[in-house]
Amino acid sequence: MGGAVSAGEDNDELIDNLKEAQYIRTELVEQAFRAVDRADYYLEEFKENAYKDLAWKHGNIHLSAPCIYSEVMEALDLQPGLSFLNLGSGTGYLSSMVGLILGPFGVNHGVELHSDVIEYAKQKLDFFIRTSDSFDKFDFCEPSFVIGNCLEISPDCSQYDRVYCGAGVQKEHEEYMKSLLKVGGILVMPLEEKLTKITRTGPSAWETKKILAVSFAPLIQPCHSETGKSRLVQLRSLKIPPG
């Protein structure tokens, strides 16, 4: 998925191309994209591809195409102080960009299935915090990552203002995804091969907008233990969004 815009020589040129093609449309999103160098989230031997508008996968590590992340960031309509849940948080690239917008009073949680990817994301986050000059311009809401299947989040988990799922959601899981959202919140996810924005306008009222056709690997179904019980993902140990 991708290839919608020309490759850049560096991160800024990639962002210029995304702006010109109208994938990046707001100043906040542009600033976040410029502040987080996409190449820093690649393995060294693949960095020459970082500024192409293409997805990248290596083992369990995956990055969506820049045009997809642009549409996601714009659709989330992020503002300082919001709570954000990233389902399938991967390398942490998106979570770091989101954190620059959420600021010091936001909440920034990620759930990731693969332990090696969690370690990779933590290394990349540490590198970003140590080397970035973005903190002169931004107050950062540092992401927290937990391991688990995003379909097994504990039912006593708080709801979030913004939720993104980075894997294809089957129709039977749509209601579960929507249950993670506060009233007034926005959920962005690939649903039936369409990147979809769902706004919770009331306790049982929703607005749905299909953004563009996408191809995502589907959500991995939970594996139940020998006892038949699933292992619930606990987010309560992290900084919790207010009720």
CB 109 within 8 A of CB 85: yes
Amino acid identity of residue 173, one-letter, is: H
> How many residues would you count in the chain?
243
Residues 6+ apart with CB under 8 A from 209: 196, 197, 198, 199
* Strand, coil or helix: 84: strand
Active site residue 83: no
User: Rounded distance, CA 24 to CA 17, Å?
Assistant: 9
The torsion angle over the Cα atoms of residues 38, 43, 49 and 54, rounded to 10 degrees, is -70
Q: Strands 205-213 and 61-63, how do they pair? A: unpaired
- Torsional class of 81: left (φ above 0), alpha (ψ -120 to 50), beta (otherwise): left
User: Of 64, 89, 95, 132, which one is the catalytic site residue?
Assistant: 64
Q: How many other C-beta atoms lie within 10 A of the C-beta of residue 119?
A: 13
Provide the token pair at 199. 């706004």
Q: How many other C-beta atoms lie within 10 A of the C-beta of residue 37?
A: 21
Please report how the helices 27-35 and 93-102 are oriented relative to each other, as an axis angle in degrees rounded to 10.
130
Catalytic site positions = 64
